[in-house]
């Protein structure tokens, strides 16, 4: 029974993250160029990153103070970076090096 509860909790947690991510992206949907929005306002520890409205991934501040970048749909991260902007720029570079068929607005 506890495995079922754990699975249910993970499903709810992922759904909450998806909702927060979509809300953050909606706030920067019309932004030109590289844009960042906090996943959970007012905290800026985790930010969603887009480029001309295209969702690239997230950047996150580590406890040590550096920032890491995670491409949307990827399990690995890159970093550390000095600040959120540098991590976001890294996401952009990673995404332009990815074949276009692997990145879409529907994901």
Does 101 have pLDDT greater than 70? no
Confidence of residue 96 (pLDDT cuts 50, 70, 90): confident
- The pLDDT value recorded for residue 27 is 94
Q: Tell whether 19 is covered by a domain.
A: yes
Q: How many domains does the chain have?
A: 1
Q: Tell whether 87 is covered by a domain.
A: yes
Q: Tell whether 56 is covered by a domain.
A: yes
Q: pTM for the complete prediction?
A: 0.81
**Average pLDDT value for residue range 93-103:** 71
61 vs 68: CA distance, rounded Å: 6
Confidence of residue 75 (pLDDT cuts 50, 70, 90): confident
**Helix, coil or strand: residue 96:** helix
Question: The domain containing residue 48 runs over which residues?
Answer: 2-102
Q: Tell whether 40 is covered by a domain.
A: yes
- The pLDDT value recorded for residue 105 is 52
């Amino acid at each position: 029974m506890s495995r079922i509860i754990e699975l249910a909790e993970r499903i709810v947690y992922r759904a909450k993250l998806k909702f927060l991510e979509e809300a953050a992206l909606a706030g920067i949907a019309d932004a030109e160029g590289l844009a960042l929005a906090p996943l959970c306002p007012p905290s800026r520890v985790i930010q969603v990153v887009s480029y001309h409205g295209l969702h690239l991934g997230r950047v996150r501040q580590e406890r040590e103070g550096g920032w890491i970048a995670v491409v949307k749909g990827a399990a690995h991260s890159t970093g550390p970076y000095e600040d959120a902007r540098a991590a976001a720029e890294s996401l952009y570079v990673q995404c332009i090096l990815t074949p276009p068929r692997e990145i879409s607005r529907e994901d």
